[in-house]
A and B are shown apart, each in its own frame.
Chain A
Amino acid sequence: MSIWQYANPKKFMDTTGPLLPWIGGASLLCIVTGLVWGFFFTPDDYRQGSTVKIIYLHVPSALMAINAWFMMLVASLIWLIRRHHVSALAAKAAAPVGATMTVIALLTGAIWGQPMWGTWWAWDPRLTSFLVLFLFYLGYMALWAAIENDDTAADLTSILCLVGSVFAVLSRYAVNFWNQGLHQGASLSLDKEENVADVFYYPLLVSIAGFVLLFIFLVFLGTHTEIRARRMRALLARERMV
């Protein structure tokens, strides 16, 4: 029993296919629970007022924006080293999800920032690295779309993914690297003093779980689609040759 057996597209689809409805359902349940709990049943913050409710969307989406890129990095490395097609296709499937999460994080951050910081946008290290990460997502998807040969596209996008990882790391640690800018430190911390209050923390955890499950659901679904699309292209090519 080895993890590499899932590099076989059929094995991957047979294993993950039956899980899709369960993961999708669990994701929906967690997101609805987290957001309803956070929106209706948590108090306002003494400084931020009701804008604290934006945390249940902003933090999970920002976490997924960065972690989606790290998942793509691992999948790209597997492709570059072991040439497993499923890993390249999984990275391709993760890109639109990560890009959407980045947009949500940027939008909710701007909407929260306007009343709290007095500005929609600042060229702050974390905000700027997030914007660059979004541009990398767009470039990654454009590169996949621009190259006809699947293996060449996988090679080049994998290299782009390695380069973009610098900005994924910067997005995560910009606040620590440059102790300046408007963006505060991490909302979640193992240090109880620095962590958000429990009343906000638990619904936030549920919402994060929902976003993680949504990401897994969409990556599995997208990988299935990419495997089928690849098979279809292969069949059509064979048909043209006959």
Chain B
Amino acid sequence: MPDLGKYADAVLSSYALSLLLVFALVGWAVMRSRKTRAALAEVEERMKGRG
């Protein structure tokens, strides 16, 4: 760990907040993609079942 001196709080909080936001964004996008894919597959299956 590098010596961040008196600005350690500023630097570490910048990294923590930014990475948290990036992870949240990626997580949300992947979850939404999976949910939509599953929901579409279910609707397509239902439609196919009805002919």
- Residues of A in contact with B (beta carbons under 8 Å apart): 31, 35, 39-40, 44, 49-51, 53-54, 57-58, 61, 96-97, 100, 103-104, 107-108, 111-112, 114-115, 214, 218, 221-222, 224-225, 228-229, 231-232, 235-236, 238-239, 242
Contacts and interface: CB of A to CB of B under 8 A. Distances in A.
Residue picked from B14, B25, B30, B43, most chain A C-beta under 10 Å: B14
A104 B7 contact: no
B14 A50 contact: no
B27 to A, nearest CB: 11
Contacts of A54: 10-11, 14
B30 A221 contact: yes
Interface in B1-51: 1-8, 10-11, 13-15, 17-18, 21-22, 24-26, 28-30, 32-33, 36-37, 39-40, 43-44, 46-47, 50
B25 A218 contact: yes
Interface of B: 1-8, 10-11, 13-15, 17-18, 21-22, 24-26, 28-30, 32-33, 36-37, 39-40, 43-44, 46-47, 50
A229 B29 CA distance: 13
Given A50-B5, A235-B43, A236-B43, A221 B33 contact: yes
A108 B22 CA distance: 13
Contact of B17 (A49, A107, A214, A232): A107
A21 to B, nearest CB: 12
Contacts of B37: 225, 228
22 contacts: A35-B15, A49-B5, A50-B8, A51-B10, A54-B14, A96-B28, A97-B25, A100-B25, A107-B14, A107-B17, A111-B17, A114-B10, A115-B6, A221-B29, A222-B29, A225-B29, A225-B32, A225-B37, A229-B36, A232-B36, A232-B43, A235-B43
